[in-house]
Amino acid sequence: MPLLEVHRVSKSFEGFRALNDVSLTVEEGSLYALIGPNGAGKTTLFNLITGRYTLDAGRVVFAGQDISHTPTHRIIHCGIGISFQRAIPFPSMTVLENVTLAVLALDRKTRDFARSLLSYGVAATRAEEIISWVGLDDLKRQVAASLSQGDLKRVDIALALASKPRLLLLDEPLAGLSRTERAQMVGFIRELLRSLGTTLLFTEHDTEAVLQLAGRIMVLHRGSVLAEGTPDEIRSHPQVQEAFLGREA
Ligand code: ADP
Ligand code: MG
């Protein structure tokens, strides 16, 4: 069953076409990757899906519901998890405190942690579970600002998981990580799908990592779809080989 359907979306900035007639379908329980060089339009597509940008044309449907013109905070409550992208909300607080506050803030019944229906204790217990999921048990009492890049990415994902999303959007989860941290993150993303059943849509720069990880891949180039398909289809696509894999077509 499709969980996310993007129908023919376009977006321009002052006459510049950042995205041009892009469609994709993400099946529930799958890993879907968006790849393409810098400026291809990957983050713009995320911003359209999550309501940070308004669509010029097209439609976004999530779990059968049209969310094309839904504001970001409502989209999170619909079941889409969005990473905070490195900006940990409360850097001087511990990992556990940050995730607990996210659980309170993202509690489906409310939008405001001061008025959450959950008690702090219940939220903290849920936060501890999420922290275990992302493998940060040993660091949960550490102040967020003291963590390494790789661990901060895990906190970021923990924050996004606080709303128990059906679909998690990750924008370049492997960027800026060391080789070891990348390998751990790839394993961790697989585990998210396997154990939590979280559907994932992510962007990435590193084509090789994506070919190993994703079930389907879309290649964006200058705002348009260059190719879409399984890793094998993408690997053998002549234009993709030429443009991204550094091989002669
Ligand atoms: P990617 O994430 O694939 O690197 P982006 O989606 O960030 O690419 O950007 C695609 C193009 O759209 C770029 O040329 C970028 O400069 C432009 N763009 C993105 N967001 C904005 C914005 N808010 N205002 C103006 N131009 C933008
Ligand atoms: Mg980007």
Is the distance from the beta carbon of residue 43 to the nearest atom of ligand 1 less than 6 Å?
yes
Q: Are residues 68 and 190 in the same domain?
A: yes
Give the pLDDT score at 129: 94
Distance in angstroms (rounded) separating the CA atoms of residues 97 and 105: 12
Final residue of a domain: which of 113, 137, 164? 164
Percent of the chain with pLDDT strictly greater than 70:
92
Number of domains observed in the structure of the chain: 2
Distance from Cα 67 to the centre of ligand 2, integer Å: 22
Do 109 and 172 lie in one domain? The reply is: no
Kindly state whether residues 159 and 214 are assigned to the same domain.
no
Contact 156, 84 (CB under 8 A): yes
Considering 114, 136, 164, which residue would you say is the last residue of a domain?
164
Q: Inform me whether the pLDDT recorded for 1 exceeds 50.
A: yes
Which comes out higher in pLDDT, residue 44 or 119? 44
Is residue 169 predicted with pLDDT exceeding 90? yes
The response to whether residue 39 sits with its C-beta less than 6 Å from ligand 1 reads yes
- Tens-place pLDDT, residues 70-79: 998 888 888 9
| C-beta 41 within 6 A of ligand 1 | yes
Q: Confidence band (pLDDT; 50, 70, 90) for 147?
A: very high
Does any ligand 1 atom lie closer than 6 A to the CB of residue 37? no
b vs e for 1-36, b when ≥16 Cβ sit within 10 Å of the residue's Cβ? eebbbbbebbbeeeeeebbbebebebeeebbbbbbb
Residue whose Cα lies nearest atom 22 of ligand 1: it is: 13
Does the pTM surpass 0.85? The reply is: yes
Query: In this structure, are 117 and 218 located in the same domain?
Result: no
189 in any annotated domain: yes
- What digits encode the pLDDT tens for the residues 57-92? 999 999 999 999 999 888 888 899 987 665 788 999
Q: Helix, strand, or coil here: 212?
A: helix
Closest atom of ligand 1 relative to the 38 alpha carbon = 4
